[in-house]
Amino acid sequence: MAADVIRVLVVDDHALHRDGIRQILGQHPDIQLVGEAESAELALVLINQLHPAVVLMDIRLPGMNGIEATRRIHRDHPGTRVLVVTAYDDEEYIRGALEAGASGHLSKAAPGRQLIDAVRAVAAGGTVIEPVALTHLLAGGHSIPPPATQLTERERAVLELLAQGLHNKQVATRLGISRRTVERHCDNIYDKLGVGSRTEAVVQAISAKLVSLPDDQH
């Protein structure tokens, strides 16, 4: 049972916010808060010691910011997923976090139920992008999306399911293929779209109208 528990590290310089997250996570036996950090520097130390599956990362922190911390976590601990939880929804911040390797963006104003769902989703390999964050990204897109013809029909099918927030195992089940095949399709999609993560791929694909917006984001 312990192997199924999602280990979480919270990084935020506001004690009140950390207290709130602690209370929310504590209500769910499949999620364990293993550590808290008020700075990115401390978070990087704790990750080496605690090996969390998910890091809830604020963006504005004293010293190193959350985007740079996310970049280092993504580089040095590829098995650890970062979910940015912040009060800032500026396109620059959101895009910076996703390009650094974050698995998604969640507002601090989101209800506790949404936080729990987001933690479970990113821990399983999915992505979380709130409608308002996606709107900012699409409105401020800087790059010209590549043509849809670059993707095969199967790659577009995989991308459509990624946009729905499904993780690799769910995609494999839905399409009747192996998880390894899904991973290979994902690598090809990233290469063709010129991105480094599924979150970026989803944003790029929606911007290029390669896939549709999820139903709850219209």
Q: Kindly report, as residue ranges, where domains of CATH 1.10.10.10 are found in the chain.
A: 148-217
% of the chain residues with pLDDT over 70: 84
If one compares 90 and 56, the residue with the highest pLDDT of the two is 56
- Residue 104 to residues 27, 157, 175: CA-CA distances in angstroms? 23, 21, 24
Name the packing angle between helices 168-175 and 179-193 (round to 10°).
Answer: 110
pLDDT score of 132: 67
**CATH, range 148-217:** 1.10.10.10
**Contact predicate 107/84, CB 8 Å:** no
Give the span between the Cα atoms of 174 and 87, in whole angstroms: 35
Of 1, 3, 7, nearest in space to 123 by CA: 7
Condensed to tens digits (0 to 9), the pLDDT of residues 13-55 reads: 999 999 999 999 999 999 999 999 999 999 999 999 999 999 9
**DSSP notation for 142-155:** -SPPPPGGGS-HHH
pLDDT score of 145: 47
Strand (E) positions, 13-112? 31-37, 54-57, 81-86, 104-107
Give the span between the Cα atoms of 6 and 23, in whole angstroms: 16
Which of 5-9, 84-88, 190-194 has the lowest average pLDDT? 190-194
- Strands 6-11 vs 81-86: parallel, antiparallel or unpaired: unpaired
Strand (E) positions, 40-89? 54-57, 81-86
Condensed to tens digits (0 to 9), the pLDDT of residues 179-199 reads: 899 999 988 888 888 777 777
Name the packing angle between helices 131-139 and 91-100 (round to 10°).
Answer: 100
**Exposed / middle / buried, residue 10 (Cβ in 10 Å: 0-12, 13-18, 19+):** buried
Which of 86-90, 122-126, 183-187 has the lowest average pLDDT? 86-90
Quickly state the pLDDT bin for 139 (edges 50, 70, 90). low
CATH class of domain segment(s) 2-139: alpha beta
Q: Kindly report, as residue ranges, where domains of CATH 3.40.50.2300 are found in the chain.
A: 2-139
